[in-house]
Amino acid sequence: MDYTPASGAKCSLYKVDSIQMQEQETEVISSKWTKVPLVVLGFSLVFALGGLCALWTLYNHKFADFESLNEQHITVSKTLAAQEINSTAMKKEFNDLTARYNTLRDWLSFYDAQSCNLSANGWLACRGRLYLFSSDKLNWTSSRDVCVSKGADLVTITSQSEQDYLVSKIKVTHWIGLNDLDTEGHWVWVNNQTLTDTGVQFWFTEGPRQPDNWRANDPSGENCAGLGDESGNFHSWFDASCGTEKSFICEKKY
């Protein structure tokens, strides 16, 4: 009899157990049903976190790019600004130099006009040289002899400015100190300089090109050079027969 309550208690215990088990079963069932969204949520969270992480990395990357670009931009801007200052300074320097050059050139041409107008005993002085423009006409060899007898020689033309000066002084053709008497076509000055040595030559090129060693009047050809020809053209050189009688230009240093 004593067992009854015990057994009853056992039963009630069992009852309790069965109720708990029932509850546990329902818990297991309910947790089975809630796990699916949890897993989805978990995955979503992982993906979201991954996305955020990727975005963050991308952002950092882009920011680094932007920073380096910005630095480059600043550097280039600074260089540009410096070069602008440089170019302004150089422009100013160039303008100053041009102004100084023009002043000097004006002064020099004034000085030239003065100094190249000096004359004594029929000789014209210009830039350290004395020139004599003959009024009589002789063949090339006799012309040279006259110059040499005056302590000079036939003129050698060694620059554009000397050519320009002489051209400005003549109104008829004049012998100059250039010939190809020794070797046909090899032109040498009376001081033995070649045209290559002096670096300038002013042969006539606007018509029949000179020198042409024309042989119609003189079978020995044309082996002496004159400034200008019988029809003018005083700005150019012509080869002519050395026997022709022309005015001539002597030159000496002073």
Ligand X SMILES: *[C@@H]1O[C@H](CO)[C@@H](O)[C@H](O)[C@H]1NC(C)=O
Judged by the rule CB under 5 A, the positions of this chain that interact with Ca ion are 180, 210, 212-214, 221-223, 238-239
Per-residue tokens: 23: 């509850």
Please count the residues of the chain.
Answer: 254
26 contacts: CB under 8 Å, gap ≥ 6: none
- 65 makes contact, choosing from ligand X, Ca ion, none, with CB < 5 to 8 Å by partner type, with none
Binding segment (CB under 6 A) for ligand X, from list 35-43, 75-83, 206-214, 229-237: 75-83
- 139 makes contact, choosing from ligand X, Ca ion, none, with CB < 5 to 8 Å by partner type, with ligand X
- 75 makes contact, choosing from Ca ion, ligand X, none, with CB < 5 to 8 Å by partner type, with none
Pick 141 or 160: Cβ nearer ligand X = 141
Shortest distance, position 141 Cβ to ligand X, whole Å: 5
- Answer for which of 125, 137, 142, 158 binds ligand X (CB under 6 A) is 142
Shortest distance, position 225 Cβ to Ca ion, whole Å: 9
Pick 20 or 141: Cβ nearer ligand X = 141
Q: Is 30 in the site for ligand X (CB under 6 A)?
A: no
- Answer for which of 132, 157, 242, 250 binds ligand X (CB under 6 A) is 242
Say how far apart CA 242 and CA 223 lie, in whole Å: 6
Per-residue tokens: 221: 């050809």
Pick 55 or 85: Cβ nearer ligand X = 85
Say how far apart CA 181 and CA 141 lie, in whole Å: 11
Any idea which residue has 């170019």 for tokens?
A: 87
- 233 makes contact, choosing from ligand X, Ca ion, none, with CB < 5 to 8 Å by partner type, with none
Footprint of ligand X on 178-207 (CB under 6 A):
191-192
- 223 makes contact, choosing from Ca ion, ligand X, none, with CB < 5 to 8 Å by partner type, with Ca ion
* Closest residue to ligand X using C-beta atoms: 243
Q: Is 139 in the site for ligand X (CB under 6 A)?
A: yes
Contact 231, 186 (CB under 8 A): no
The site for ligand X (CB under 6 A) is made up of 79, 82-83, 86, 113-114, 117, 139, 141-142, 191-192, 242-243
